[in-house]
Amino acid sequence: MKNYNEFLNDNNPICEINMGELGVIEVELFPNVAPITVENFLGLVDKKFYDGIIFHRVIKGFMIQGGDPLGEGYGGSDKKIKGEFARNGVDNPLMHNRGVISMARSQMPDSASSQFFIMHEDAPHLDGSYAAFGAVTKGIEVVDKIANVRTDFRDKPLEKVVMKSIRRIR
Protein backbone atom coordinates (compact mmCIF):
# COMPACT_ATOMS: atom_id res chain seq x y z
CA MET A 1 0.00 0.00 0.00
CA LYS A 2 1.17 3.53 -0.78
CA ASN A 3 0.62 7.04 0.54
CA TYR A 4 -1.21 9.43 -1.80
CA ASN A 5 1.88 11.64 -2.21
CA GLU A 6 3.30 8.95 -4.49
CA PHE A 7 0.45 9.49 -6.99
CA LEU A 8 0.39 13.29 -7.26
CA ASN A 9 1.35 14.63 -10.70
CA ASP A 10 0.70 17.55 -13.03
CA ASN A 11 -1.49 15.50 -15.38
CA ASN A 12 -4.10 14.36 -12.84
CA PRO A 13 -7.55 15.97 -12.88
CA ILE A 14 -8.36 18.33 -10.00
CA CYS A 15 -11.81 19.23 -8.67
CA GLU A 16 -12.95 21.91 -6.26
CA ILE A 17 -15.69 21.13 -3.77
CA ASN A 18 -17.27 24.48 -2.90
CA MET A 19 -18.66 24.32 0.64
CA GLY A 20 -19.85 27.93 0.70
CA GLU A 21 -19.02 29.68 3.97
CA LEU A 22 -16.97 26.69 5.14
CA GLY A 23 -14.50 27.08 2.26
CA VAL A 24 -13.22 25.02 -0.66
CA ILE A 25 -11.78 21.50 -0.72
CA GLU A 26 -9.48 20.75 -3.66
CA VAL A 27 -9.05 17.08 -4.58
CA GLU A 28 -6.59 15.61 -7.04
CA LEU A 29 -7.89 12.44 -8.68
CA PHE A 30 -5.72 9.45 -9.59
CA PRO A 31 -6.89 7.80 -12.84
CA ASN A 32 -3.79 5.58 -12.79
CA VAL A 33 -5.04 4.07 -9.51
CA ALA A 34 -8.80 3.80 -10.14
CA PRO A 35 -9.66 4.73 -13.76
CA ILE A 36 -13.31 3.58 -13.71
CA THR A 37 -13.98 5.41 -10.44
CA VAL A 38 -12.33 8.64 -11.60
CA GLU A 39 -14.22 8.55 -14.92
CA ASN A 40 -17.52 8.00 -13.10
CA PHE A 41 -16.84 10.79 -10.58
CA LEU A 42 -15.81 13.28 -13.28
CA GLY A 43 -18.88 12.39 -15.33
CA LEU A 44 -21.09 13.22 -12.36
CA VAL A 45 -19.13 16.44 -11.71
CA ASP A 46 -19.53 17.50 -15.34
CA LYS A 47 -23.31 16.89 -15.11
CA LYS A 48 -23.40 19.02 -11.91
CA PHE A 49 -24.86 16.00 -10.12
CA TYR A 50 -23.34 16.97 -6.76
CA ASP A 51 -24.59 20.57 -6.69
CA GLY A 52 -26.70 21.06 -3.56
CA ILE A 53 -26.12 17.57 -2.15
CA ILE A 54 -25.22 17.26 1.53
CA PHE A 55 -22.60 15.42 3.52
CA HIS A 56 -25.10 13.07 5.18
CA ARG A 57 -22.70 11.03 7.34
CA VAL A 58 -20.00 12.68 9.44
CA ILE A 59 -17.83 10.80 11.91
CA LYS A 60 -15.11 12.88 13.55
CA GLY A 61 -11.80 11.01 13.59
CA PHE A 62 -12.94 8.79 10.71
CA MET A 63 -14.54 10.33 7.59
CA ILE A 64 -17.15 12.61 6.02
CA GLN A 65 -19.52 11.08 3.44
CA GLY A 66 -21.72 12.66 0.79
CA GLY A 67 -23.03 12.19 -2.73
CA ASP A 68 -26.47 10.76 -2.00
CA PRO A 69 -29.14 12.84 -3.77
CA LEU A 70 -31.65 11.61 -1.18
CA GLY A 71 -29.42 12.74 1.70
CA GLU A 72 -30.01 9.56 3.68
CA GLY A 73 -27.20 7.21 2.67
CA TYR A 74 -29.00 4.78 0.39
CA GLY A 75 -29.40 6.81 -2.82
CA GLY A 76 -27.10 7.30 -5.77
CA SER A 77 -26.86 7.96 -9.46
CA ASP A 78 -28.39 5.68 -12.09
CA LYS A 79 -25.08 3.93 -12.72
CA LYS A 80 -23.20 1.35 -10.63
CA ILE A 81 -19.48 0.76 -11.23
CA LYS A 82 -16.91 -1.94 -10.56
CA GLY A 83 -15.29 -1.64 -7.15
CA GLU A 84 -11.62 -0.94 -7.82
CA PHE A 85 -10.02 -2.48 -4.73
CA ALA A 86 -7.94 -5.56 -3.86
CA ARG A 87 -10.74 -7.66 -2.35
CA ASN A 88 -12.54 -7.26 -5.68
CA GLY A 89 -9.53 -8.36 -7.73
CA VAL A 90 -8.22 -4.88 -8.61
CA ASP A 91 -4.74 -3.65 -7.73
CA ASN A 92 -5.37 -0.35 -5.95
CA PRO A 93 -2.40 0.47 -3.68
CA LEU A 94 -3.74 3.80 -2.35
CA MET A 95 -4.00 3.81 1.45
CA HIS A 96 -6.98 5.32 3.25
CA ASN A 97 -4.96 8.04 4.95
CA ARG A 98 -6.17 11.44 6.13
CA GLY A 99 -7.39 13.42 3.11
CA VAL A 100 -7.92 10.47 0.76
CA ILE A 101 -11.21 10.39 -1.19
CA SER A 102 -12.81 6.98 -1.71
CA MET A 103 -16.07 5.52 -3.01
CA ALA A 104 -18.81 4.39 -0.65
CA ARG A 105 -20.72 1.23 -1.50
CA SER A 106 -23.10 -1.34 -0.07
CA GLN A 107 -21.99 -4.85 0.91
CA MET A 108 -21.91 -5.68 -2.81
CA PRO A 109 -18.42 -5.00 -4.24
CA ASP A 110 -19.68 -3.50 -7.52
CA SER A 111 -22.33 -1.22 -6.00
CA ALA A 112 -20.47 2.13 -5.95
CA SER A 113 -22.42 4.91 -7.64
CA SER A 114 -22.16 8.54 -6.55
CA GLN A 115 -21.49 8.43 -2.81
CA PHE A 116 -17.94 9.17 -1.72
CA PHE A 117 -16.12 9.82 1.51
CA ILE A 118 -13.08 11.85 2.50
CA MET A 119 -10.89 10.51 5.28
CA HIS A 120 -10.70 12.75 8.34
CA GLU A 121 -8.07 10.45 9.87
CA ASP A 122 -6.17 7.37 8.73
CA ALA A 123 -8.26 4.18 8.47
CA PRO A 124 -6.00 1.29 7.38
CA HIS A 125 -8.82 -1.21 7.96
CA LEU A 126 -10.46 0.17 4.77
CA ASP A 127 -7.38 -0.48 2.60
CA GLY A 128 -8.14 -3.07 -0.06
CA SER A 129 -11.91 -2.97 0.62
CA TYR A 130 -12.93 0.39 -0.87
CA ALA A 131 -11.92 2.20 -4.06
CA ALA A 132 -9.68 5.07 -2.99
CA PHE A 133 -9.25 7.38 -6.00
CA GLY A 134 -7.69 10.70 -5.00
CA ALA A 135 -6.68 13.02 -2.20
CA VAL A 136 -7.27 16.48 -0.77
CA THR A 137 -4.47 18.81 -1.89
CA LYS A 138 -5.95 22.03 -0.47
CA GLY A 139 -8.62 22.67 2.12
CA ILE A 140 -8.05 19.87 4.63
CA GLU A 141 -9.07 22.45 7.24
CA VAL A 142 -12.52 22.47 5.60
CA VAL A 143 -12.70 18.70 6.05
CA ASP A 144 -11.84 19.33 9.73
CA LYS A 145 -14.64 21.90 10.04
CA ILE A 146 -17.14 19.43 8.57
CA ALA A 147 -15.88 16.62 10.80
CA ASN A 148 -16.53 18.81 13.83
CA VAL A 149 -20.20 19.60 13.16
CA ARG A 150 -22.78 18.31 15.62
CA THR A 151 -24.50 15.10 14.48
CA ASP A 152 -27.41 12.93 15.56
CA PHE A 153 -27.31 9.26 16.58
CA ARG A 154 -27.06 8.26 12.89
CA ASP A 155 -24.00 10.49 12.35
CA LYS A 156 -26.11 12.88 10.26
CA PRO A 157 -25.29 16.57 10.77
CA LEU A 158 -27.95 18.44 12.75
CA GLU A 159 -27.59 21.34 10.32
CA LYS A 160 -27.20 20.58 6.61
CA VAL A 161 -23.62 20.62 5.31
CA VAL A 162 -24.22 21.37 1.64
CA MET A 163 -21.86 21.01 -1.30
CA LYS A 164 -22.68 24.15 -3.26
CA SER A 165 -20.89 22.65 -6.27
CA ILE A 166 -18.08 20.42 -7.44
CA ARG A 167 -16.21 21.65 -10.51
CA ARG A 168 -13.31 20.31 -12.49
CA ILE A 169 -10.50 22.89 -12.53
CA ARG A 170 -7.89 20.76 -14.33
Q: Which residue ranges make up each domain of the chain?
A: 4-168
Mean pLDDT of 106-123: 96
Pick the CATH number of 4-168 from 3.30.300.30, 3.30.420.40, 2.40.100.10, 3.30.70.930: 2.40.100.10
- CA distances, 156 to each of 58, 144, 147 (Å): 6, 16, 11
Mean pLDDT (the chain) is 97
pLDDT of residue 136: 98
pLDDT of residue 147: 98
pLDDT of residue 65: 98
Q: How far is CA 56 from the centre of its chain?
A: 12
- CA distances, 73 to each of 8, 66, 124, 136 (Å): 30, 8, 23, 22
Residue 26 has, within 13 A of its CA and on its CB side, a CA count of 9
Q: Which residues contact 107 (CB under 8 A, 6 or more apart)?
A: none
pTM of model > 0.95: yes
The pLDDT > 70 percentage for the chain reads 100
